[in-house]
Amino acid sequence: MKKSKIFVVLLISVFVLSLFMVGCGNGNGDEENGEPGGERPERLAVATGGTTGVYYPLGGGIANIISENVDGVTANAESTGASVENVNLLSDGDVDFAMVQNDIAYYAFNGEEMFDDQDPMENLRGIATLYPETIQIVADANAGINSIEDLVGKRVAVGAPGSGTEANARQILAAHGISYDDFTADFLSFGEAADNLRDGNVDAAFVTAGTPTAAITDLSTQHNVILLSMDQDKIDALIADYPYYAQVEIAGGTYRNQDDDVTAVAVMAMLAVRAELDDDLIYDITEAIFTNLNVLANQHARGGDVTLEGALDGMSLEVHPGAQRYFDEQ
């Protein structure tokens, strides 16, 4: 009799304890995140890039569209070191959206290239690809630089620490047999690179951004600069190794004193989001962006490239289900 009483008491205790644990589980999940469908923060942060790039004005435009058209949320654009920093911020939950190059997003999601010592960032999702970002190599017209090979022995700004630009610089130089050991590399934002080029402290700079890029436009009015073309065989080798690059021409007249077309490569800018955000919220945000594209076109020429038809061209991440539902309905 005594033994069976103890058994009943134990059974009841286990039952009560398990009820308590189920309660705790619910509290950590749905209640804390607002809704069963996912997180709905009231304030949303959009990671962009330096203030003289294109991410900053277009990310600002996207933040304005969200604040003005989606009920119950406000969004703000933040200046950052750009793509590589942005995917880290996004994956860690420090921001909710990020402007990012499609090549960098792919490496981050898969834990490759500059991310090979980190866990794959499996919570990155795409909303849409936006516009081409051209890798522009600007050189002081009087520094004796006429080709990428001439950068050997010079002082070169290779992009901000944590930028996609810096990754592109390394890959493009490697395709020419050049490494950072062959010249002095300075890790500068577009604005810093332009100021230093104008003042004679650096001889050339890599800039991965939509054209025209304000930093280069301003520089070209103050200083004589040239854009370097890439040779076809080097472009072919680069694309064979890194398929996110595409060959493009920087049209003559994009910058002051640039009369001829310049052959270059480009990647795609995209808008990425955290997987944890609520599907309905992302549906509403995607709808707001694609029904207010004029706001982006007014911010920068490349904002005019964003279209519903092209929204998934070059997409390198799984699309967020909220965005996918919006695209499927169109």
Sites of contact with ligand GLU (CB under 6 A): 49-50, 53-55, 82-83, 101, 133, 159, 163-165, 208-209
Q: Which two tokens stand for residue 32?
A: 């804390």
- CB of 82 or CB of 248, closer to ligand GLU: 82
Minimum distance, C-beta of residue 91 to ligand GLU, in the bound complex (Å): 15
DSSP line for 6-73: HHHHHHHHHHHHHHHHHHHHHIIIIIHHSBTTBB--SEEEEE---TTSSHHHHHHHHHHHHHHHSTT-
- The region that residue 29 occupies, defined by phi over 0 for left and psi between -120 and 50 for alpha, beta otherwise, is alpha
The smaller minimum CB distance to ligand GLU, of residues 106 and 283, is found at: 106
Q: For ligand GLU, which is the closer residue by CB, 76 or 147?
A: 76
Minimal distance, residue 195 CB to ligand GLU, in Å: 16
Q: How far is the CB of 260 from ligand GLU (least distance, A)?
A: 24
Nearest approach, Cβ of residue 284 and ligand GLU (Å): 26
Helix axes 321-329, 279-290, angle to 10 degrees: 50
Least distance from ligand GLU to the Cβ atom of residue 17, Å: 51
160 close to 215: Cβ distance less than 8 angstroms: no
Tell me the C-alpha to C-alpha distance, in Å, between residue 87 and each of 90, 101, 120, 277, 289. Answer: 5, 10, 11, 15, 21
Nearer to ligand GLU, 101 or 324 (CB): 101
Question: Whose Cβ is closer to ligand GLU: residue 52's or residue 324's?
Answer: 52
